[in-house]
Amino acid sequence: MGKFISYQESGVNIDANDAMVGEIYSSVKSTYGPRVIAAKNGFAGLFRLDYDEKLFKKNYQNPVLVACTDGVGSKVQLAGMADQYDTLGIDLVAMSVNDMLVTGAEPLFFLDYLAVHKLDPALVAQLVKGIAAGCKMADCALIGGETAEMPDTYAKDDFDMAGFAVGVVERDKTIDGDRVREGDVILGLASSGLHSNGYTLARRICFQRHSYRMTDQPKGLAGVTVGDALLEPTRIYVRSVVKLLGQYRVKQVVHGMAHITGGGLVGNLSRVLPTDRDAILKKTSWPRPPVFSFLQAEGPVEEEEMFRVFNMGIGFVLVVAEDFAHSISEKLSKVGETVFTLGHIETGTGKVIFA
């Protein structure tokens, strides 16, 4: 009989997994609110949807569940280059919760999936710390996750992450763009940078066409390092927009919303336009953050391609009733958003047009 072989010799360390669970427990627990129900066995997370009015501000009358899943793309490779992992989790949460926010939904809970070559409890703890931070920004609970050690699938030091969010919206409050009409005003909320899109192009520009290091401070980035500019976490718009929607419980003044991810303003805003309406945008209505001008010049990249790949400084868009545009802009500004009036809606064929 041959020598016994163990799981650890095959590349999977169960003891490291147990250590990792201990490392992340406090981060996960910090996202819990009274809606989370403690589960003794830990096989699945439990969350109350129909809940006690004494504990919560409202009960849902006709709730619709909203679910999203996403990752952060090749931004994980930049984190490895910079040896900086504590903000990637914010990006992971943001990509899903900002998507569901477009429907008018309130995020409820989040789950993560991490796949690694070799389980490093300290690394996973940093990633989960960021996820927990993102969940707190979005007022949702991190109720579960999975970490897979896969040495035969992922190369040394490689890893990937995915996230899953579930939210809720009252059925008659769902926002899908059907109410968008001629004369509506288009408001844009500033992004914090590239967010989590276009990184394959950004990496090619910075590290293949040019040989920048993550610590370099090129003139075009106005004193910011390449690493800081590229790893700036995605802005989460949940608190601002959910609070805004809660102030208009009767009037439907927000007619459409869009999360500006891959495809840019043209590709994402067009998704919430009726087929007989056009969005007319003015490029000069908001300043272009330095990171986009830097990438365009260093590429070089054509203007149309920049707007097709990147958010160009606008991370979230609201199409609102003309009579309420000014007050909505003020409300969003008061809660910390940088708001720009990008344009308006005209009769058309469902296109986004730059005037």
State whether residue 340 is helix, strand or coil: strand
pLDDT at position 26 is: 79
Residue 98 shares a structural domain with residue 189: no
Query: Average pLDDT of 32-52?
Result: 76
Residue 195 shares a structural domain with residue 164: no
H/E segment holding residue 303: helix 303-309
pLDDT, greater one: 223 or 1: 223
Q: Decide the pairing of beta strands 141-149 and 185-190.
A: unpaired
Instruction: Tell me, yes or no, whether 105 lies in a domain.
Output: yes
Classify 88 in phi/psi space as left (phi over 0), alpha (psi -120 to 50) or beta: alpha
Instruction: Tell me, yes or no, whether 266 lies in a domain.
Output: yes
Query: Average pLDDT of 304-333?
Result: 98
Mean pLDDT over each residue of the chain, to the nearest integer: 91
The structure tokens listed for 305 are 């391609």
Instruction: Tell me, yes or no, whether 8 lies in a domain.
Output: no
Residue 214 shares a structural domain with residue 350: yes
Residue 196 shares a structural domain with residue 342: yes
pLDDT above 70 covers a percentage of the chain that reads 90
Q: Which residues, at least 6 apart from 288, have a Cβ–Cβ distance to it below 8 Å? A: 312, 313
Determine the Cα–Cα distance for residues 344 and 184; give it in Å rounded to an integer: 6
pTM of model > 0.85: yes
Domain boundary among 171, 197, 219: 171
Burial of 275 (0-12, 13-18, 19+ CB in 10 A): exposed
CATH number at residue 114: 3.30.1330.10
Q: pLDDT at residue 24 above 80?
A: no
pLDDT, greater one: 172 or 35: 172
What total of structural domains would you count in the chain?
2
pLDDT above 90 covers a percentage of the chain that reads 79
Q: Which structural domain, as residue segments, surrounds residue 128?
A: 14-171
Instruction: Tell me, yes or no, whether 106 lies in a domain.
Output: yes
Residue 146 shares a structural domain with residue 46: yes
CATH number at residue 268: 3.90.650.10
Residues 51-95 have pLDDT tens digits of 565 544 556 788 899 999 999 999 999 999 999 999 999 999 999
pLDDT at position 339 is: 98
Residue 160 shares a structural domain with residue 18: yes
- Report how far apart, in Å, the C-alpha atoms of 194 and of each of 179, 191, 266 are: 30, 8, 16
Residue 120 shares a structural domain with residue 200: no
CB 158 within 8 A of CB 118: no
State whether residue 132 is helix, strand or coil: helix
State whether residue 202 is helix, strand or coil: helix
The C-alpha angle with vertex 195 and arms to 191 and 198, in degrees rounded to 5, equals: 120
Instruction: Tell me, yes or no, whether 179 lies in a domain.
Output: no
Residue 205 shares a structural domain with residue 322: yes
Closest among 181, 72, 81, 182 to 130, alpha carbons compared = 72
Count of Cβ atoms closer than 10 Å to residue 17 Cβ: 15
Determine the Cα–Cα distance for residues 230 and 246; give it in Å rounded to an integer: 34
Domain boundary among 120, 145, 171: 171
Residue 190 shares a structural domain with residue 64: no
pLDDT at position 15 is: 59
Instruction: Tell me, yes or no, whether 332 lies in a domain.
Output: yes
Hunting for tokens 């401070």 — which residue is that?
A: 217
Domain boundary among 171, 194, 213: 171
Instruction: Tell me, yes or no, whether 256 lies in a domain.
Output: yes
pLDDT at position 74 is: 94
pLDDT at position 145 is: 92
Instruction: Tell me, yes or no, whether 45 lies in a domain.
Output: yes
Residue 148 shares a structural domain with residue 248: no
Query: Average pLDDT of 7-36?
Result: 70
Query: Average pLDDT of 91-109?
Result: 97
Determine the Cα–Cα distance for residues 278 and 104; give it in Å rounded to an integer: 22
Residue 135 shares a structural domain with residue 205: no
Q: pLDDT at residue 228 above 60?
A: yes
Residues 143-169 have pLDDT tens digits of 999 999 999 999 998 999 999 999 999
Residue 18 shares a structural domain with residue 140: yes
pLDDT at position 55 is: 47
Q: pLDDT at residue 131 above 80?
A: yes
Determine the Cα–Cα distance for residues 34 and 4; give it in Å rounded to an integer: 48
